[in-house]
Amino acid sequence: MIVALEGVSKFFGAEVVLTDISLKIEDRDRIGLIGANGAGKSTLLNLLTGELDATEGEVVFSKKSVGYLHQNAGLSSGNSILEEMRSVFSDLIAMGKKLEDLYHKISDSPENEKEYARLQTIFEQKDGYHIDVKINTVLNGMGFMGRDLSTPVDRLSGGEKTRLALAKLLLSEPDLLILDEPTNHLDFKTLEWLEEYLTGYKGALVLVSHDRYFLDRCVTDICEIYKGKLTRYKGNYSKFVVLKAQQLEYLEKEYEKQQAEIASLKDYVARNQVRASTAKSAKSRQHILDTMEVMEKPSDYLKTIHLNFSFKTEPVKDVLSVSNLELKVKDTVLNPDVNLHVRKNDKIAIVGANGVGKTSFLKAILGIFPYERGNVSWGGGVKKSYFEQETWNLHPEKTALNELWDRFPTVYEQELRRILGSLRLTGEDVYKKVEVLSGGEKAKLKFAIMMLEEGNVLILDEPTNHLDLPSKEVLDKALDDYEGTVIMVSHDRYLLNKVPTKIVEMTPDGMVVYDGKYDYYLEKHKETLSDTAPKKTEKANDFYRSKKDRAAQTKRKNDIRKTEEEIEKTENEIATLQAEIASPEIASDFTILKEKCDLLEELEAKLTALYETWETLSQEE
């Protein structure tokens, strides 16, 4: 046992967050912790680490180590990447230096020889001779391959700092590894590496994640927190979905049975309490009613969004043809030659590295993003409906209800409110201004617009961002049931394994089509990489570098350094601009706000291009 919670409750003032939680974590446990925002997941994690004390009950700790990666993990300011990684092994490095000193003094006395032998045994047991190998393995896996390890941590982006903090924690190898949303800021390649690493991890894992595919790969138990209670289910996330549905079906039957019993008892009491001959039995039944523990309606748990995408007119067979399309931001070419053919009823998911131009492609085929070369041709009868990743097409000053009403003035208010209600925007929520809606609420408003538009081609850019797990499940089913054409960009691998009929990988050279879902794409992609991998050359050639090669390498390093400086400058400009946009003065002036937002979009596009340049330079041999 590593840690155990025994009848633990946690209150903050009068607020009850967790009630009577019992959980034992053993060696090699793989637990996924899920629950709605505010359910108490972070509170539970802080109880497991000892950062919080229980209000009631007991938290029992063993002497084993616990490592916790917070969502906003900090790193030591001023350290380089390598210094941060080596700090994990500070005791072992100090032992290595002592061994080196003893080695030179080993002949001075028998005690030195004994101490050297003792320390060397410990050093070998702790794998001290492979510190650099471990560091490089984890850094490469976490996406730092080719990065100058002397780069100060302060110069890294927010996403890079998160990845570095995770790398540091992985190297520390605690007996219990606790990760809170570890998949944020990770691309497919890094995610796959992390999943493989965690699969072979020797300690226990507790993972909080909205990434359903990640949970499927990494956990063997799901712990769900709902209304302060914790329930543990055997199996990964997909198994949990099945078990939960079965449990709710059983509870629904039990609830209906109890409600029928309650109705029968109430009826008997009402008919017999005034009669002298039956008053005693009526009183007995009333006592049963008064002491009965009434079940909560199971369907209350299922109160999530409802989505139904439909259309009235069919498009022609050939929905979209894109040929020789060049995607550019300013003077930077994101993609020189994009070709794609979409037929009716295709469900296409576009994947690819960040900065390759996926969002720009969607905007180009919609006519939002200008292009100088190539052709985009939509077929007859096509009616497009677009879910954008940002919220530029929503008016910040309008209420949620007016945003719909101004777009669909002929639709009755009752119908608009019904649709918003089906998306859990009810009561006073419909009168909230768009600018104060949460990310999830804005996503729901955009879905409401799409439902009313009745498009026969849905174009979606990261539609699962900001959605909770139940809402993601609903979206999966709605898109799977939809009988029209879907073109989407998504990093949600669980969704990519449910909905698409084709995965289209966008590369710097164009597009590659895979006729299947994500796992099929992954399998074929690995086969392609294996077939095209360069064969190993003779050892002499591996290490030989001509003057020309060395000069090219020096130039490449200089280019990388200059690009990193430009990235840092652009990130600072973006941060300053975001702060200005968030200020009340700017937010209240729509004209200035629009100008600032346009400039922000330009800077973000520039940053994307710079990262693409940096990645290309870093990967060059």
| Among 5-14, 19-28, 153-162, 371-380, the least confident range | 153-162
> How would you write 222-259 as a 3-class SS string?
EEEEECCEEEEEECCHHHHHHHHHHHHHHHHHHHHHHH
pLDDT at 540 over 50: no
pLDDT score for 586: 67
pLDDT score for 589: 62
Give the HSE-up count for residue 147: Cα atoms under 13 Å, Cβ half-sphere: 24
pLDDT at 102 over 90: no
pLDDT score for 553: 66
pLDDT at 571 over 70: yes
Confidence tier at 44 by pLDDT (50, 70, 90): very high
Give me the mean pLDDT over the 201-214 stretch.
95
Select from 451, 396, 427 the least CA-distant residue to 588.
396
Express each pLDDT in 446-460 by its tens digit.
999 999 999 999 999
Mention the CATH class of domain 318-529. alpha beta
The token pair at 125 is 């047991």
C-alpha span between 153 and 617 (Å, rounded): 21
Give me the mean pLDDT over the 380-384 stretch.
96
| Among 43-47, 57-61, 574-578, the least confident range | 574-578
Confidence tier at 203 by pLDDT (50, 70, 90): very high
pLDDT score for 518: 95
pLDDT at 72 over 60: no
The SS3 call for residue 162 is: helix
CA distances from 572 to 83, 420, 464 (A): 24, 38, 28
Task: Give percent of the chain with pLDDT exceeding 90.
Answer: 59
pLDDT at 362 over 60: yes
pLDDT score for 539: 39
pLDDT at 591 over 60: yes
Q: What does DSSP say about strands 332-343 and 318-329: parallel, antiparallel, or unpaired?
A: antiparallel
pLDDT at 542 over 50: no
Question: What DSSP string runs through 505-531?
Answer: EEETTEEEEESS-HHHHHHHHHHHHHH
Q: What share of the chain is helix, strand, coil (3-state, %, to 5)?
A: 50, 20, 30
Confidence tier at 588 by pLDDT (50, 70, 90): low
pLDDT score for 92: 93
The token pair at 40 is 């108490």
The chain-wide mean pLDDT, for the chain, equals 88
pLDDT score for 547: 46
Express each pLDDT in 498-537 by its tens digit.
999 999 999 988 899 999 999 999 998 888 766 655 554 4
| Among 43-52, 312-321, 606-615, the least confident range | 606-615
Give me the mean pLDDT over the 407-422 stretch.
94
Select from 377, 442, 452 the least CA-distant residue to 407.
452
Does residue 589 or residue 188 have the better pLDDT?
A: 188
CB contact at 8 A, 446 and 465: no
Does residue 74 or residue 193 have the better pLDDT?
A: 193
Does residue 344 or residue 576 have the better pLDDT?
A: 344
The token pair at 506 is 């966008």
CB contact at 8 A, 341 and 511: no
pLDDT score for 31: 97
Express each pLDDT in 230-251 by its tens digit.
999 999 999 999 999 898 889 8
Express each pLDDT in 299-348 by its tens digit.
767 678 999 999 999 999 999 999 999 988 877 888 889 999 999 999 99
pLDDT score for 108: 80
Express each pLDDT in 424-478 by its tens digit.
998 888 999 999 999 899 999 999 999 999 999 999 999 999 899 999 999 999 9
Burial of 114-148, coded b for 16+ CB within 10 Å and e otherwise, reads ebbeebbeebeeeebeebeebbbbbbebbbbeebe
Give me the mean pLDDT over the 20-42 stretch.
93
CB contact at 8 A, 455 and 481: no
